[in-house]
Amino acid sequence: LKMNEHGEYITKNLEKKLGFFWRNQNKLNKSSKITYLKALVIPHFDICSSILLMCDKGKIDKFESILKKFVRLIMCDKITPIHELYKKLNVVSVKNRIRINSLKTIDKLMKNNVPSDIKSKFYPNSRWRSLLLRSANLLYVPNYSNMAARKSLFMYGIDHYNKFLEYKKKLPASNVN
């Protein structure tokens, strides 16, 4: 599987759906449009998030652009900032959706809800007593020399997990769950 080719495939598929949506938008009411978005478009970002994570930034920006077009067509609004439209439709941006799914994967990893062959490749930092630079809750990831290993789902996911823990430390005690 080549990530860029798969990204192109997803882009073409979403553009076909956007074209169909554009041609038929006058025949659909708002609730049908929202159902179309949530049933036929958003699953591409959820199901394929591990693959999307490995795509380059340009592809993710293209996915984001397509999602923005869908949202603007549904809301019939070209002026309101996109984050407000996302909030009204209860939709998360593509980049944030990929982050959320990566964190869910890492959460499963931490709770031992993944196959043992995957779990064996990652170690909680508390097992590495010589590395006192990080907190014991963070995950230690070995440094890989090739780019493919650096761009893997788990490398990005663990990076997001570690950043999330650092962010959580900075929050006031009342906001931390």
Q: How confident is the model at residue 126 (pLDDT cuts 50, 70, 90)?
A: very low
Predicted pLDDT of residue 157:
62
pLDDT at 130 over 80: no
Output the CA torsion 92→109→48→155 (10° steps).
Answer: 90
Check residues 5 and 48 and name the one with the higher pLDDT. Answer: 5
Average pLDDT over residues 61-66: 93
The answer to whether residue 25 scores a pLDDT higher than 50 is yes
pLDDT of residue 46: 83
DSSP state of 56: -
